[in-house]
Amino acid sequence: MKKIAFILLLSIHTCLPCVAQTVYEPQLLVLAPGDHSFDPSLQKEIDARNAELNKMALQSQKAMAEQKTGDKVQPENIRLMQQSSISFLEHIDIFKQVSFLSQQYLTYRFYERFTNCLVLLKDEKSKNNLTDLQKLAREQQTPYILNLPKISFYKQNGKTWCKLQLQLYDLKTNQLLVDKEYQGDWNNPGFEFTCEQGSVGCTISNAMAAAMPDVLFR
């Protein structure tokens, strides 16, 4: 999963056609996670992961700043997605990584069919009710919001697990198209969600592997 996220963030401007887009389809806003918790025994691993994430964020920001002016010519939707990614990385941690990876993965998958997609990140939490989601959607002028009300890391049967609640909000109907909980253990699922076996990162990959199809195929 790390491969998709950071390769996409740093190199997408070199592999997409440089044609300005004015109509974005699909258009989705990904919010920062709401409530989050973890088993105290995971403190050391989570601290190490947060340090690694911050190091990668600084590298990404530096790489973007060092790009030549001529390299920055790109479609407007790609520029907007890169800007929101870089801004979101400023305060990244293992919980916000779920939001970041969701944006990167959905962009990666949507672009296969929709070159004018727009999947943005916003470092803001929802109050987890339809009124608040509707207000956010109108303020941000986006038809869909991906909300992550709860994320937790816990121990069970000798394994580390991730449980996340995911909501997909539709402004047109003012309804949740998805409102489910997903779980993932620490086994490496391989392919697009490959990860380090036995790590907290693998629990995120497995939970996302279960959740993302419900977003993609709505």
For the chain, the structural domain boundaries read 30-216
- CA-angle at 36, arms to 31 and 39, nearest 5°: 150
Phi and psi torsions of 163, nearest 5°: -120, 125
**Tens-place pLDDT, residues 105-131:** 999 999 989 999 999 999 999 999 999
Chain CA centroid to CA 66, Å? 24
- Average pLDDT (32-49) is 97
Q: Is the pTM of this model over 0.95?
A: no
% of the chain with per-residue pLDDT over 90 = 75
Give yes or no for residue 14 having a pLDDT over 60.
no
Residue of 75 and 166 predicted with greater confidence: 166
Q: Positive or negative CA dihedral for 214, 167, 117, 56?
A: negative
Quickly tell me which residue has 């050391």 as its tokens. 44
Give yes or no for residue 72 having a pLDDT over 80.
no
Give yes or no for residue 132 having a pLDDT over 70.
yes
Q: What is the DSSP letter of 67?
A: S
Return the pLDDT at 71: 54
Phi and psi torsions of 156, nearest 5°: -155, 125
The SS3 of residue 29 is strand
Alpha carbons 160 and 186: distance in angstroms, whole number = 6
Please name every residue paired with 146 in a beta bridge, in sequence order, or none if there are none.
Answer: 30, 168
Reported residue count of the chain is 218
pLDDT bucket at 62, cuts 50 / 70 / 90: confident
